[in-house]
Structure 1
Amino acid sequence: MSSFGDALILEPYDAEYVALPGGGGFQLLADASDTGGALGANRLLLGKGADGARPHHHALSTELFYVLDGTVEFLLDGLLTSVSRGGLVVIPPRMPHAFGATPGSTADLLVVLTSGVDRFGYFRALGRIQHGLEPFDSLLPLQEHYDVHFLDDPAWTAARSQHGKQTR
C-alpha cells in the first residue's frame, strides 16, 4: 500500500485475504484508518449458495454493494430480492439487511462502507468463526465498535433454510 498525498493506492498483492469455507473469502482493500475515515472497502467472494451476512444494520454507515459476478440474494428491510452481475445496491444507515449467494451461484462483490469504520478486525473474526475457531457470540460485545448491529429476521432464516443454508 502506498499513498501519493492523500490518495491511497493498493496493489492486488498487498491486500490481505481472509479465507472462508467453500472457496470464498474477503480481500481487505481499505479500512477507515487508511482513508481518513472516509470509507472502508473489501471484495467478498462467496461459494455456491453461501451466506454473506446474517440480518444486521449499521447505525452510522451507508453500505454499497456492486455485484462483480454471480447473483446475490438480499434481504432489504424485510423484502427479498436478487441482484445479478452488474447490479448495484445502496443501503442507508439503520436499514435492516442480509445477503448471500443464490442457490447454485457463486458471488463476487465489491463492498464499500461510508463513512468508514475500521472493520478489518471484524472480517478477520468472521473468518475464524466460519472456520469454527470462535463462536459467533464472540462478536456480540463488539457490535458498537464495528457498527454492525445483529438482528433476528424470521423471513431471512426461512428463505435461507429453504435453500439448504443456515444463516451464521
Structure 2
Amino acid sequence: MSIIHPGIHPGIHPGFDRSVVVRGADAEVVGAPTARIQLLADSSATGGALSTVRVTLAKDADGARPHRHDASAEMFYVLDGAVQVLSGSDIVTAERGDVIVVPPRIAHAFAAARGKTAELLVVITPGVERFDYFRKLTRIAHGEEPPETLRDVQELYDTYFLSSPEWESARR
C-alpha cells in the first residue's frame, strides 16, 4: 500500500515500510529566480533513508557554494542541461543522464556549466531533514535574513561551508 502525500508536511512520519509518493505538481517550490528548488521528499517522509530535491538552474547560475556533509553522501543526477560539480579538488562537468556521487566529508559545490542551464535531481543519504534549510536559503536570497545566519545552522543541517580555490578559479 502506498501513501500519497499532496506535499510533504512536518510531522508526517510514515516510516519506511511503505512507498512514499510525492506528486510533482503538489511539491513545494522555493528558491530565487536563477535557482528553483522543488522539495520532493525529506528525511521524515522516508524514515531517514534519504532526502531529495529537484533543482533547476538558469544559464550560468550557481547552485551551491563549496560545502561538505559529514554524515551523508550526495548524488547529483543530471536531468537536463549541463552542470559543473566540485568534488574534492576536482571539477567535473556532467551532462544529461550523468550521475555524480560525492562521499561524506568531501568538499563539493555545483552550478550550471558556462553558457548552459541545468536541471538536477539531488539525493542525500542517509537523509537529513533539509527542507527548512532550503526555505532559509530562499529567505536569504530575498533579503529577509542575513547570509551569516547559515553559519548558525551548519550542524543542524550537516552542511559545513568551505573555501575552494579550485571552485573559485573554475567559476571566474
Give the alignment's TM-score, normalised by structure 1. 0.90
1:72-128 alpha-carbon deviations (Å, 9 max, x no partner) = 011110111210111000111001111100121110000111100100001111112
Please point out which of 80, 85, 96 is paired with 2:107.
96
- Residue 69 of structure 1 is matched in structure 2 by 80
What is the percentage of aligned positions where both structures have the same residue? 51
| Residue type at the aligned position of 1:20 | A
- Residue 16 of structure 1 is matched in structure 2 by 28
Supply the distance in 2 between the matched residues of 1:86 and 1:116 (Cα, whole angstroms).
23
Listed as ranges, the matches of 1:152-167 within 5 Å are 152-160=163-171, 162=172
Supply the distance in 1 between the matched residues of 2:59 and 2:142 (Cα, whole angstroms).
17
Deviation of the 1:133 alpha carbon: 2.4
Q: Which runs of 4+ in 1 moved over 3 A?
A: 2-5
- Residue 117 of structure 2 is matched in structure 1 by 106
Please point out which of 108, 130, 133 is paired with 2:144.
133
Please point out which of 32, 44, 62 is paired with 2:55.
44
- Residue 53 of structure 1 is matched in structure 2 by 64
Deviation of the 1:11 alpha carbon: 1.2
1:126-161 alpha-carbon deviations (Å, 9 max, x no partner) = 11222232222111010010000100112212221x
Q: Contact 1:21/1:131 (CA < 8 Å) preserved in 2?
A: no
Q: Contact 1:21/1:130 (CA < 8 Å) preserved in 2?
A: no
Tell me which of the two structures has the higher relative contact order, counting C-alpha pairs closer than 8 angstroms and 6 or more residues apart.
Answer: 1
Q: Contact 2:80/2:96 (CA < 8 Å) preserved in 1?
A: yes
Supply the distance in 2 between the matched residues of 1:122 and 1:52 (Cα, whole angstroms).
14
- Residue 165 of structure 1 is matched in structure 2 by none
Supply the distance in 2 between the matched residues of 1:144 and 1:96 (Cα, whole angstroms).
16
Structure 1 residue runs of 5 or longer lacking an equivalent are: 163-168
Supply the distance in 1 between the matched residues of 2:122 and 2:133 (Cα, whole angstroms).
14
SS at match of 1:144: coil
Cα RMSD for the two superposed structures: 1.5
- Residue 128 of structure 2 is matched in structure 1 by 117
Supply the distance in 2 between the matched residues of 1:19 and 1:51 (Cα, whole angstroms).
12
| Larger proportion of helix | 1
Give the alignment's TM-score, normalised by structure 2. 0.88
Deviation of the 1:19 alpha carbon: 3.3
